[in-house]
Every structure is written in structure tokens, then in C-alpha cells.
């Protein structure tokens, strides 16, 4: 059996162990093969000791299947169970790498194409599900009515989505028109239309740099801050990943040495704790803060 067939069989098993049943025709369509091939794969499952159950024209692998009973308890979640697990994961901070890994694994175990129904609010679920489908099937999409944070205007964008950030807040896409990888916030998308067109620029797909302040960009900017006790504690509470870049200096002093992707995130933190922070390195950050204060001083 060649690699493509092995991949198709594994994808079929994944679909049959999800919390929703699929008809022969739906399985064939999703796996881009013929109904006859699906029947042949199912016969292979039966020969291997798996019980295939048919209910209302939908197929699934039964938990009672030989060699499968124990593992089925791991790969089947009710909506309530998935919601409970998600609630526990939700207690972790958004920047926690473990949280992202847990969500990714749960999405694979639960149901890849509908996990957003549990993990994101209803207004975004349909959009996120469409993007998940496009990522999985390698399709281009139209982000209809995307509201730009810079121009404040809404317009349609044809892109190639390929990777979500934590909690499906944003998605990395390649923009063929601008020849750039960009991060789009799902909240700003009015509607997602999955196209029949295959993604053509997969070799150019690349995620940008996201710093500890949850900002993204292409060019890292190095900064060093001296923090007191108050700013140190606030930094760890709000941005837990920052702990990896902190070094103790004396009894109540710490040095934060890290690269940032965008001046805004670090500037907001410094401005909020200005009486307890000293900028040791980062001329660009100093100039940005001075310019920001001069621009908005009349609002105070």
C-alpha cells in the first residue's frame, strides 16, 4: 500500500471515530475517492476486527470493536465532556504553549471539523469551522468583509489559510496578491467562503514571529528592561511566557532580555508600570514611547 493510500485509510478511521456519522458518499467526497474504494477500506476494517455500525445511512466504528474498545473511550467525547475539558484548559493563560498543544490534540481526538462549536463563541464558530476545513483540505478561501485594523475599511480577501493561533483568535494566511504571510483575526471576518481552488503557494507558507506580549511581526527588536517587584509580578501574571526571559538581579530586581515583534505591546506594558520599569536597551522602544506621550499628552 503506497503512502497516499495509507494516509487515506488513516483519515477514514479518523472520520469514522468522530462524534458524527458520515454516509459512504460523504466519506468518498471528503477523501477524494470513489464509494467503491470506501467500501473496500471498510471491508479491511471488518477483517481486522473492527465493527462498523450503520445508523440512518451514516457509518461509524463501534466502541465494541475488537482491539478498539479501550481506545474508543479516549477518542469519543460527548459535547458536555468536551465542554468540561475545554473549561479546564481555558484556565491556562492564552500564551501558554501547553494550552495550545492540548487544544490541538483535543481537536484531533474530538472532531477536527467542528471543534470550534465548543471552543469559540457561536458568532465565530461557523467562520472558524470553514477555515479548519480549508486548512485540512488545502483550499483557498475568501475572507468576506474583513475589517482592517489599519484602514478601518472592509473588503474581501482571497487567501490560503494554514495555521491558527491559540484559541482560534487569529489565523495565518498567505496572501497571493501581496505575496505575504499575514495574520487575520477571526473576529474581524464577516464570512468565510471555501473555494474549490487548491492552495498554490504552500512552500511559501510561514508563520511570523509572535513575542511574549502577544504581538506579531517579521523583524525581531531586542530590548532589555529592569523590573521592580510590582512590574515583575504583573508581567508574569499577564504574560507567563516572559518568565523564560527573566533573570534575577538583586533582591527585588529582575532583568527582562527578549526580542519583541512590535513596539506597541512592550510600550503599553512600560507605560502602565512606568514608575517601576527602566529601559536598559531598546532605543526604538524609548523613541516610540516618547512620541506616543507627546502625541497624546493633551488628552490627559
The cell 511566557 sits on which residue? 241
Which three-class secondary structure state does DSSP give residue 198? strand
Angle, vertex CA 261, rays to CA 259 and CA 265, nearest 5: 100
List Cβ neighbours of 167 (8 Å cut-off, separation of 6 or more): 94, 103, 119, 120
* Per-residue model confidence (pLDDT) at position 3: 61
> How far lies 72's CA from each of 38, 58, 64, 67, 219, in Å?
21, 18, 8, 9, 46
Largest Cα separation within the chain, whole Å, is 77
φ/ψ of residue 270, rounded to 5: -65, -45
Domain limits of the chain?
Answer: 3-68, 79-207, 216-299
Question: Yes or no: is domain 79-207 CATH 2.30.30.100?
Answer: yes
pLDDT digit string, tens, across residues 177-186: 999 999 999 9
DSSP letter (8 states) at residue 22: B
- The CATH classification of domain 216-299, taken from the options 3.10.50, 2.60.40, 3.30.70, 3.40.50: 3.30.70
pLDDT in tens, 49-95: 777 878 777 887 765 555 444 444 444 455 455 556 666 666 666 55
Residues 6+ apart with CB under 8 A from 71: none
- Provide the strand spans (E) within 120-267: 139-147, 154-164, 170-175, 180-185, 191-198, 209-210, 216-217, 221-227, 246-248, 254-260
Contact 162, 223 (CB under 8 A): no
Looking up cell 476494517 gives 45
At residue 83, the pLDDT reads 58
Answer for the pair 222, 259: CB distance below 8 angstroms, yes or no: yes
CATH architecture of 3-68: Orthogonal Bundle (1.10)
Residue 16 has a pLDDT of 79
pLDDT tens, position by position, for the chain (300 residues)? 456 677 788 778 877 776 567 789 888 888 888 889 988 888 888 777 777 878 777 887 765 555 444 444 444 455 455 556 666 666 666 555 566 666 665 655 554 444 555 456 666 778 888 898 898 889 999 999 998 866 678 999 999 999 887 667 889 999 999 999 999 999 999 999 999 999 999 999 988 788 899 888 778 999 999 999 999 999 988 888 888 899 999 889 999 999 999 899 999 999 999 999 999 999 999 999 999 999 988 877
What is the per-residue pLDDT for 71? Answer: 44
Pairing of β 139-147 and β 154-164: antiparallel
CA distance 120 to 45: 34
Would you state the pLDDT for residue 122? 62
Helices 283-296, 263-272: crossing angle, 10 deg rounding: 70
What is the CA 198 to chain-centroid distance, rounded? Answer: 21
Looking at residue 259, its pLDDT comes to 95
For 57, list phi and psi in degrees, rounded to 5: 70, 10
Amino acid at each position: 500500500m503506497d503512502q497516499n493510500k495509507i494516509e487515506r485509510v488513516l483519515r477514514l478511521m479518523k472520520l469514522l471515530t468522530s462524534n458524527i456519522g458520515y454516509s459512504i458518499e460523504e466519506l468518498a467526497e471528503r477523501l477524494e475517492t470513489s464509494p467503491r474504494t470506501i467500501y473496500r477500506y471498510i471491508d479491511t476494517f471488518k477483517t481486522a476486527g473492527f465493527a462498523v455500525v450503520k445508523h440512518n445511512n451514516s457509518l461509524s466504528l463501534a466502541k465494541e470493536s475488537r482491539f478498539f474498545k479501550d481506545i474508543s473511550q479516549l477518542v469519543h467525547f460527548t459535547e458536555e465532556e468536551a465542554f468540561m475539558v475545554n473549561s479546564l484548559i481555558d484556565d491556562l493563560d492564552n500564551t501558554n504553549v501547553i494550552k495550545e498543544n492540548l487544544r490541538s490534540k483535543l481537536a484531533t481526538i474530538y472532531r477536527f471539523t467542528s471543534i470550534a462549536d465548543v471552543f469559540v463563541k457561536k458568532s465565530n464558530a461557523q467562520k472558524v469551522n470553514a477555515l479548519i476545513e480549508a486548512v485540512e483540505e488545502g483550499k483557498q478561501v475568501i475572507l468576506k468583509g474583513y475589517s482592517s485594523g489599519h484602514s478601518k475599511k472592509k473588503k474581501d480577501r482571497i487567501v490560503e489559510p494554514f495555521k491558527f493561533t491559540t484559541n482560534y483568535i487569529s489565523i495565518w494566511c498567505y496572501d497571493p496578491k501581496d505575496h505575504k504571510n499575514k495574520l487575520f483575526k477571526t473576529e474581524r471576518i464577516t464570512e468565510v467562503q471555501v473555494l474549490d481552488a487548491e492552495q498554490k503557494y504552500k512552500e511559501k507558507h510561514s508563520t511570523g514571529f509572535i513575542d511574549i506580549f502577544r504581538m506579531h511581526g517579521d523583524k525581531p527588536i531586542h530590548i532589555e528592561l529592569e523590573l521592580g517587584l510590582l512590574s515583575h509580578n504583573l508581567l508574569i501574571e499577564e504574560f507567563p511566557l516572559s518568565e523564560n526571559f527573566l533573570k534575577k538581579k538583586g533582591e527585588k530586581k529582575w532583568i527582562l532580555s527578549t526580542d519583541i515583534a512590535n513596539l506597541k505591546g512592550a510600550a503599553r506594558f512600560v507605560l502602565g508600570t512606568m514608575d517601576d520599569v527602566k529601559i536598559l536597551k531598546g532605543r526604538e522602544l524609548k523613541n516610540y514611547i516618547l512620541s506616543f506621550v507627546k502625541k497624546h499628552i493633551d488628552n490627559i
